[in-house]
Amino acid sequence: MPGIAQLTPFYQQTTMANVVIETPRGMAVKLKYDEKDDVFRVRKGMPVGFEFPFNFGFVPGTVAGDGDPLDVLVLSTHLMPTGTVVVGRIVSVLEAEQVEGKNKERNDRLIVIPWDLVSKSPMLPEISFDKKLKHAITEFFTKYNEAQGKRFRALRFAPARRGIQLTRQAVEAHLTAAGVGR
């Protein structure tokens, strides 16, 4: 039976992403999918007092600038269990750099609104992706990284079309890494 590794990055013939939830909102540990063993492993504890404000996951079949699948923050009040696949309408991408020691790499995060497949509309209650929320998201990732001795620099919140473009580039990077020619 095909698993997570066999999922397509985009849902059917749309520009909405298939998002695999790694770490549900409210968790105080960071989980990471281990494709080789097809399991979710506890990667690390969150710094004291930290928990994920939203569900956090990845787009399967992608390779981002940090070498991992493309990260995704799912804006929803719903707790989505680890391993859940949610269809997300890309609304933005937080373009960012992460610095650890002398290593600097891109570590962008797609921002998606979960899509209700029954009503074919945003899942309710829909969260307003406004200036205050953008600031709070940036502060969370900045402080979260600082607590681990890393530096996180938000470059900008780019529009949805940039997030879709970035996802397509990450799909191409995955195909190249897998040795699949186009």
Q: pLDDT: is 2 or 174 the higher one?
A: 174
Give residue 1's pLDDT band: very low, low, confident or very high (50, 70, 90): very low
Percent of the chain past pLDDT 70, that is, above it, reads 98
4-174: CATH topology is: Inorganic Pyrophosphatase (3.90.80)
User: Under DSSP, is residue 141 helix (H, G, I), strand (E, B) or coil?
Assistant: helix
pLDDT score for 48: 87
**pLDDT at 182 > cutoff 70:** no
Mean pLDDT of 158-178: 96
| Location of structure tokens 């570590």 | 107
Q: What is the pLDDT of residues 72-127, one digit of tens each?
A: 999 999 999 999 999 999 999 999 999 988 999 999 999 999 999 999 999 999 99
Q: Using pLDDT thresholds of 50, 70 and 90, give the confidence band for residue 9.
A: very high
Q: Which residues pair with 20 in a beta bridge?
A: 58, 85
| Cα(54)–Cα(5) distance, integer angstroms | 23
pLDDT tens for residues 46-69? 888 899 999 999 999 999 999 999
| Average pLDDT of the chain, as a whole number | 94
Long-range pairs of 169-175 with CB within 8 A, sequence gap ≥ 24: 170/9, 170/59, 170/62, 170/63, 170/64, 170/69, 170/70, 171/9, 171/61, 171/62, 173/62, 173/63, 173/64, 174/61, 174/62, 174/63, 174/69
> Are 16 and 115 spatial neighbours (Cβ–Cβ below 8 Å)?
yes
- Considering the entire predicted model, what is its pTM? 0.94
Query: What is the average pLDDT across 156-169?
Result: 98
Of residues 16 and 103, the one with the higher pLDDT is 16
Domain edges within the chain: 4-174
Residues 130-142: tens digit of each pLDDT: 999 999 999 999 9
Higher-scoring residue by pLDDT: 163, 147: 163
